[in-house]
Structure 1
Amino acid sequence: MVKVLMCLVVCLLSACIQNDLPYPTVKLYITGMTVEGQVGSALISNDDRKVTLELGETVNPRKVKVQTLELTEGGSASIGPDSIIDLSSPLSVTLSLYQDYVWTIEATQTIERAFTVTGQVGQAYFYPESHEASVNIPREKGLKNIEVTDLKLGPEGSVINGEEGLPVLQWENKGAFATAKVQVKYSDFIDEEWTLYVNLSDVNVGVNSVDAWTNVAWINGFGRDGEDNGCEYKKEGDTDWIRVDASELTHSGGNFKARLIHLQANTTYVCRAYSGEEYGAETTFTTGDEATIPNMSFDEWHQEGKVICPWKEGDTSWWDTGNWGSTTLSANDNITQPTSDVWSGAAAGSQAAILGSKFVGIGSIGKFAAGNLFLGEYRATDGTNGILGMGREFSARPTKLKGHFKYTVSTIKYTDEAHKALMDKPDTCIVWIALGDWSEPVEIRTNPKNSKYFDKNDPNVIAYGEMNCAETVSAYKDFEIDLDYRSTSRVPKYLLIVCSASKYGDYFTGGEGSTMWIDDFSFEYDYDE
């Protein structure tokens, strides 16, 4: 009986010990992914646990081969390299270690399409979901002799009605329009019937839309294909029209885009399109403000405890630095500070910013930290890593960021695994600017376990530009960064500006002693001639 009781006690104790040792919580992340036929880099959202991939137009989205899948160390996934996955709809993938985390993999795919006919008005419209395409022609041209000059409805290499070139089409006249059916096939995954429409139009020239910025506007218009198409503009109330020079026009079939420069801010203008001798209806538009942001002169600073901050005490912060992280390792290690060493045109008594890269810590315990200054806020320190919220709300569209800088370059002596090839090479300073339509600031994490970095190819990016320098510049030098806009119609929600004495500082890569001075930033809103 005693032996039985002892056995029961031992079993109960074993059960208690097992239940009292919970598994550690290790959050799992996908840190990288590539597939065959991918265009650009994967867009990874740690917050949404989602990876978005852009597929080339010839890729079968139902049979996508995974090339690489990088995860948090120790984790496993329900798919892996060489897996064939179906991305025709979002795919759920489970990451496992001590707990399971469900991620979503989704794909986007753009197919370039074309449908043109002789004498058309403007460009064709495509409706992929219903497999329809339409184009307009002048009413007086009629529907008797429709001549198709280009037709591409599927991926490169697809065939239409069994023919690789232009097929012979059978048009059905329905009074105000004509239709034709075509069969589009590509490989083993596209077999679609499309309906083509040619419509008679009473409007042969006009303005589709106006993208009005501050000193610049973009007119999107249409006219008869093959005619002299363009536009004119004037201030509201003026008599004389100004014709946009041919150098400021781009054409695509019957459509055109005109760039108007040297406009006045907060001013109403009138524009009209022309096609040959014919003019379209007048359209009005109003330009925007020459917006700026606080402390672009870097004159305002204060100190909170041991942290030096780039804004006036009591004011709302716009800029921030990595000082919040560097001073956790050493109280005196503010890697970004104010300086009275300003550029020659600065006002008396003004200040600039000095960004110094260095190893921060005590003895061998610490980490390389790049001197930096950025729009946004330093949110938290994760161990010895930073979590940043980059960007401030901003809806204007500058064309340039201008400023003054100088730089002392050092040799790179600190790298992470991915940047070992840079060891013993000159460091590089950088200033970059981006505008985008994110719904919130862009979160940056430098912890390798759940890293998240800014990607200039992020589809939310509307405009981007950067300046790099890998040599010592001993006296202040002017710089200009031209913003490359990917769309003239999308309106920004956030502005990001980042300055760093070590370009790859986010990856703890750079040279001790690399130092960058920056002063008096400004925006420009016009284009040169």
Structure 2
Amino acid sequence: MIGLFLGVGLISSCQSEIDEAKGYGYLQLSSIDVNKGVETRADITESEAIAVDILDESNAVVQHADDWRNLDDVILPVATYTIKAYSADKNMETQGFDAQPYYAGQKDVVIEANKAKNVNITCKLAQTMVSVNCSETFKSTFAGYTCYIEGADALSIPFVEDEARAAYVKAGQPLTVKVDFGNGKSFSQEITSKAEAAYHYKVNLDITEGNAGFDISVDQTIHQYDVTVKVPTKQESADMVTSDIKNDASKVWGQFAYLSGSCNLAEITSPVQFRYKKKADAEWTTIEAVQEEGTKNYSAKVAPLDFGTEYEYYIVCGDKTGETCTFTTESYVEIPNLNFDTWRQKGKNWYANADASDSYWATGNSGVTLIKDATTVPVEGSEAHSGKAAKMTTVDGVMLVGAAAGNLFIGTYKTNMTNPSTSVNFGRDYAGARPVKLSGYYKYTSCAINYGSQPGTLTTDECNIYIRLWDASGTEIGFGEFVSSESVGTYTPFEVTINYSNTQKRPAKLTIVATSSRYGGNFSGKKVVGQVGAGSTLWVDDFELSYY
């Protein structure tokens, strides 16, 4: 981490110069602090030579200093600039044991007339560190081996026996550990599909009597991935290597999987393919493999697969085949009442569950029906797409909070009169397969904004439908949403793609939310401050989750 501080105050002489040129502002580089924030090799000194560039909006350098200490007071025309700090005496493209750590960071700054800017830029290691360690059992089992870390553009870094140094490689590329046993046989395992900058991948090699094993643990406090690879004592041909994906959540989903392997043939006269089948079946399915650019690695997406089912697969080219590996797809867990046909009424409240309570789906009805009718209710006949549908309406004039949006969500609701924003708790436990899309049908009446101040840019109301997933630590791993301000008088299909920010994690909690006013849940104290339009109404029906 490199703290870069620009501009703390103006000395009187510079202030006078600014006053004379009303179209200029002021930057002063006061200090650079070095704090690497990641374990580095012992031969790296504590001091870093840092260069600084100031670039204009056309990306042209308007100020440069090989050493930040030489960048004196800077007066710049009013405009937006990008300030970059980076290692001055190192090459980020160099990879291997001889490469040196390269630090970089940048931030945009808007220069205003007659004003000084105080800007803090955080620089971090722009490369990835990688090292290999072999257990004593591994060393005693195999003799005369060499380990390689391989990546894009034919990267191959040899780690001979007892090599303790770490190497620096470019971030963003796939990394594979390969063990060459010197007898025409080798073993390969991808350790990451995209190496992260400022992290150290510590690859630990051990042995197993069965199929290869693969496990990753991450220590965020020291930016370290501990990658444990169990190498089978019985080795397959070095020509074709099947990668074991069974413990890689990024490759094994509910109804699809990414098969992977490597082909080390000098000349490929036949197409590289994968064969796969259910373990209980006899017949294999063949699919063409796609080569990953700059590597000898191949992959293929296979779909649709059955939930919770064990599959076998191997890589093949001509008469050369890799070892057969297995994986088991994620299991299906049903989300109840996605078609919104089940409703129960209790007093003035309606519930989208069979037991007349907020037992799975919940609404804010109980907070509104103290003085008004329920804002979320079932409808059928011509108001539904099929069976029953959910109708949500935004109302104003609600005691205490001012306004209330109609809503329906997976979670819990319990009215908190002293802090209404905490009445809603989104999400319920979920251990099923990761969906990739949410689809369904909706129609919407958007009314003019007549209440609220946030975000302050709306003239007509917006409906919102979204899905969110969290892992066991409570961190969001997947999200997708649909937003519209257009009034739609007939049921219209919608589709939401779920984007996963972390494909290595499996979900532990899920919610689906629909509301007639996107900002109806924005509170300040006891009052709703989100912009809403009283009368805005959203109908939804026949939701469906897709898994491939």
Whichever residue aligns with residue 309 of structure 1, its letter is Y
Do the aligned partners of 1:319 and 1:377 also contact (CA within 8 Å) in 2?
A: yes
Whichever residue aligns with residue 381 of structure 1, its letter is N
* Map of 2:425 onto structure 1: 389
* Map of 1:376 onto structure 2: 411
Question: SS of 1:506's equivalent?
Answer: coil
Mean alpha-carbon deviation: is it higher for 427-436 or for 383-392? 383-392
Question: SS of 1:421's equivalent?
Answer: coil
Q: Shift in Å at residue 261 of structure 1?
A: 0.7
Do the aligned partners of 1:209 and 1:221 also contact (CA within 8 Å) in 2?
A: no
1:294/1:230 Cα in 2 relative to 1: closer, same or farther (>3 Å)?
same
Q: For 1:492, which of 484, 494, 507 is the aligned residue? A: 507
1:499/1:493 Cα in 2 relative to 1: closer, same or farther (>3 Å)?
same
Q: Shift in Å at residue 281 of structure 1?
A: 0.8
* Map of 2:28 onto structure 1: none
What TM-score, normalized to structure 1?
0.55
Question: SS of 2:505's equivalent?
Answer: coil
What TM-score, normalized to structure 2?
0.54
* Map of 1:338 onto structure 2: 378
- Residue 214 in 1 paired to residue 254 in 2? yes
Q: For 1:483, which of 475, 498, 517 is the aligned residue? A: 498
Mean alpha-carbon deviation: is it higher for 461-470 or for 299-308? 299-308
- Residue 402 in 1 paired to residue 442 in 2? no
- Residue 235 in 1 paired to residue 270 in 2? no
Q: For 1:513, which of 522, 530, 535 is the aligned residue? A: 535
Per-residue Cα deviation, 1:409-429 (whole angstroms, up to 9, x for no partner):
11223233x51122x2x2221
* Map of 1:462 onto structure 2: 477
Per-residue Cα deviation, 1:323-359 (whole angstroms, up to 9, x for no partner):
23334xx522422122225666524xxx211111121
Per-residue Cα deviation, 1:67-124 (whole angstroms, up to 9, x for no partner):
99xxxxxxxxxxxx96979x99xxxxxxxxxxxxxxxxxxx98855797579969999
Do the aligned partners of 1:250 and 1:258 also contact (CA within 8 Å) in 2?
A: no
CA–CA distance in structure 1, aligned partners of residues 531 and 538 of structure 2: 16
Question: SS of 1:491's equivalent?
Answer: coil
* Map of 2:391 onto structure 1: 354
Do the aligned partners of 2:277 and 2:311 also contact (CA within 8 Å) in 1?
A: yes
Whichever residue aligns with residue 434 of structure 1, its letter is R
Question: SS of 2:366's equivalent?
Answer: helix
Whichever residue aligns with residue 439 of structure 2, its letter is K
Q: Shift in Å at residue 63 of structure 1?
A: 13
Gaps of 5+ in 1: 1-35, 37-55, 69-80, 89-107, 143-151, 157-199, 441-459
* Map of 1:436 onto structure 2: 470
Do the aligned partners of 2:352 and 2:358 also contact (CA within 8 Å) in 1?
A: no
Mean alpha-carbon deviation: is it higher for 131-140 or for 298-307? 131-140
1:412/1:341 Cα in 2 relative to 1: closer, same or farther (>3 Å)?
farther
Do the aligned partners of 2:410 and 2:428 also contact (CA within 8 Å) in 1?
A: yes
Do the aligned partners of 1:212 and 1:218 also contact (CA within 8 Å) in 2?
A: yes
Whichever residue aligns with residue 303 of structure 2, its letter is I
Mean alpha-carbon deviation: is it higher for 108-117 or for 295-304? 108-117
CA–CA distance in structure 1, aligned partners of residues 347 and 125 of structure 2: 51
Gaps of 5+ in 2: 1-31, 33-83, 88-100, 110-116, 131-148, 169-175, 185-193, 199-234, 523-529
Q: Shift in Å at residue 222 of structure 1?
A: 3.6
1:501/1:111 Cα in 2 relative to 1: closer, same or farther (>3 Å)?
farther
Q: Shift in Å at residue 251 of structure 1?
A: 5.3
Matches within 5 A, 1:253-268: 253-268=295-310
Question: SS of 1:499's equivalent?
Answer: strand
Per-residue Cα deviation, 1:156-214 (whole angstroms, up to 9, x for no partner):
9xxxxxxxxxxxxxxxxxxxxxxxxxxxxxxxxxxxxxxxxxxx997451213144333
Whichever residue aligns with residue 233 of structure 1, its letter is Y
Do the aligned partners of 1:121 and 1:136 also contact (CA within 8 Å) in 2?
A: no
CA–CA distance in structure 1, aligned partners of residues 274 and 547 of structure 2: 22
What is the number of residues matched between the two proteins?
355
Q: Shift in Å at residue 476 of structure 1?
A: 1.2
CA–CA distance in structure 2, aligned partners of residues 119 and 64 of structure 1: 25
Do the aligned partners of 1:433 and 1:498 also contact (CA within 8 Å) in 2?
A: yes
Q: Shift in Å at residue 495 of structure 1?
A: 1.1
CA–CA distance in structure 1, aligned partners of residues 509 and 476 of structure 2: 10
- Residue 279 in 1 paired to residue 321 in 2? yes
Q: Shift in Å at residue 297 of structure 1?
A: 2.2
CA–CA distance in structure 1, aligned partners of residues 195 and 511 of structure 2: 38
CA–CA distance in structure 1, aligned partners of residues 325 and 331 of structure 2: 20
* Map of 1:165 onto structure 2: none
* Map of 2:138 onto structure 1: none
Do the aligned partners of 1:399 and 1:524 also contact (CA within 8 Å) in 2?
A: yes
CA–CA distance in structure 2, aligned partners of residues 343 and 361 of structure 1: 26
* Map of 2:355 onto structure 1: 313
Cα RMSD of the aligned pairs, angstroms, is: 4.6
* Map of 1:414 onto structure 2: 451
Q: Shift in Å at residue 376 of structure 1?
A: 0.5
Per-residue Cα deviation, 1:336-387 (whole angstroms, up to 9, x for no partner):
122225666524xxx211111121325xx74222211111012442536321
CA–CA distance in structure 2, aligned partners of residues 135 and 201 of structure 1: 16
CA–CA distance in structure 2, aligned partners of residues 377 and 428 of structure 1: 23
Q: Shift in Å at residue 221 of structure 1?
A: 3.1
CA–CA distance in structure 2, aligned partners of residues 207 and 464 of structure 1: 29
Do the aligned partners of 2:363 and 2:407 also contact (CA within 8 Å) in 1?
A: yes
* Map of 1:24 onto structure 2: none
Per-residue Cα deviation, 1:204-260 (whole angstroms, up to 9, x for no partner):
51213144333212224344499775532123354543332357x755733444211
Q: For 1:502, which of 510, 514, 517 is the aligned residue? A: 517
Q: Shift in Å at residue 318 of structure 1?
A: 0.8
Q: Shift in Å at residue 518 of structure 1?
A: 0.9
CA–CA distance in structure 1, aligned partners of residues 292 and 310 of structure 2: 24
CA–CA distance in structure 1, aligned partners of residues 197 and 499 of structure 2: 28
1:57/1:390 Cα in 2 relative to 1: closer, same or farther (>3 Å)?
farther
Q: Shift in Å at residue 389 of structure 1?
A: 1.7
Mean alpha-carbon deviation: is it higher for 308-317 or for 404-413? 308-317
* Map of 1:474 onto structure 2: 489
* Map of 2:545 onto structure 1: 523
CA–CA distance in structure 1, aligned partners of residues 125 and 336 of structure 2: 40
- Residue 245 in 1 paired to residue 263 in 2? no
CA–CA distance in structure 1, aligned partners of residues 195 and 255 of structure 2: 39
1:65/1:380 Cα in 2 relative to 1: closer, same or farther (>3 Å)?
farther
Question: SS of 2:455's equivalent?
Answer: helix
Whichever residue aligns with residue 383 of structure 1, its letter is T
CA–CA distance in structure 2, aligned partners of residues 475 and 420 of structure 1: 29
Do the aligned partners of 2:278 and 2:312 also contact (CA within 8 Å) in 1?
A: yes
Do the aligned partners of 1:123 and 1:253 also contact (CA within 8 Å) in 2?
A: no
Matches within 5 A, 1:65-144: 111=127, 116=150, 131-132=166-167, 136=178, 138=180
Question: SS of 1:521's equivalent?
Answer: strand
CA–CA distance in structure 1, aligned partners of residues 545 and 276 of structure 2: 26
1:315/1:303 Cα in 2 relative to 1: closer, same or farther (>3 Å)?
closer
